[in-house]
């Protein structure tokens, strides 16, 4: 499994997916470790047991990363989805490249604004990692998160995924997203669906999530 993205390598084992960049990437994420806006060369997605209940998941994930030899700041996610079901793809258009790594489980479907807080029922996280070969402003990175989330939700709606309350699901209760971008000069201000970047992000999420849901259903 690989990604065709300049300076980026991907490794996968039964316990983790690790993205390593030769140069620091600017990231915006909802990650367990390294969330928010930060710079890093490592993005980690760790498999945990479906009944995982550690008192300090941040410390636990940092220790796990250290065991992998990651001794510098990183962005870290967790999922109970089996990582051999991860979907990777790279799309390019007009000199812009977007790479994606998508894992998906649907044990905890929710509808934002309708579903009440829930007790987790299993490996139900959709984790989306996006790497963009273009410098994005902070506002454009938020734009990218919106583009990715809209595409994710539309895929779920088309599949008619339902919550326990029988509402159409917009996601799961523990979804995470990472947007990472290169840091050349002349930051781009927009990454909505009308832009080439936003269009590529939407296509990556749609294709990756469709394939991940197929794996989940099988």
Q: Supply the pLDDT for residue 204.
A: 97
CATH number at residue 166: 3.60.70
Question: What ranges make up the beta strands (E) of the chain?
Answer: 8-13, 16-29, 36-47, 74-79, 87-93, 96-104, 109-110, 126-132, 171-172, 176-181
For the entire predicted model, the pTM comes to: 0.95
138-158 helix and 196-217 helix, angle to the nearest 10 degrees = 40
pLDDT per residue of the chain (218 residues) written in tens, 0 to 9? 558 899 999 998 878 999 999 999 999 999 999 999 999 999 999 999 888 888 899 999 999 999 999 999 999 999 988 888 899 999 999 989 999 999 999 988 999 999 988 666 655 799 999 999 999 999 999 999 999 999 999 999 999 999 999 999 999 999 999 999 998 878 899 999 999 999 999 999 999 999 999 988 87
Integer Cα distance of 109 and 88 in angstroms: 23
**Domain extent at residue 77:** 8-217
pLDDT tens figures, 66-99: 999 999 999 999 998 888 889 999 999 998 999 9
- Judge whether 3 lies within some domain: no
- Judge whether 43 lies within some domain: yes
Q: Which residues partner with 43 through β-bridges?
A: 19, 75
The count of structural domains within the chain is 1
């Amino acid at each position: 499994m690989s990604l065709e993205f300049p300076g980026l390598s991907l490794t996968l084992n039964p316990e983790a997916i690790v993205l390593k960049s030769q140069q620091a990437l600017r990231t915006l994420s909802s990650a367990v470790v390294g969330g928010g806006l930060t710079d890093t060369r490592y993005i980690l997605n760790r498999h945990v047991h479906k009944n995982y209940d550690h008192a300090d998941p941040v410390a636990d994930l940092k220790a796990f990363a250290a065991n992998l030899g990651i001794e510098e700041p990183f962005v870290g996610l967790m999922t109970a989805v089996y990582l051999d079901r991860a979907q990777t793809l790279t799309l390019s258009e007009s000199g812009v490249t977007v790479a994606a790594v998508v894992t998906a489980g649907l044990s905890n479907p929710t509808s934002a604004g309708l579903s009440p807080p829930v007790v987790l029922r299993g490996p139900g996280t959709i984790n989306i990692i996006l790497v963009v070969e273009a410098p994005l402003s902070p506002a454009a990175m938020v734009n990218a998160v919106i583009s990715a989330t809209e595409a994710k939700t539309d895929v779920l709606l088309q599949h008619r995924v339902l919550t326990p309350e029988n509402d159409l699901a917009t996601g799961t209760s523990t979804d995470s997203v990472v947007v990472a971008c290169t840091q050349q000069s002349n930051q781009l201000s927009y990454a909505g669906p009308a832009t080439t970047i936003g269009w590529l992000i939407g296509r990556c999420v749609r294709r990756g999530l469709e394939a991940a849901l197929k794996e989940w259903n099988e």
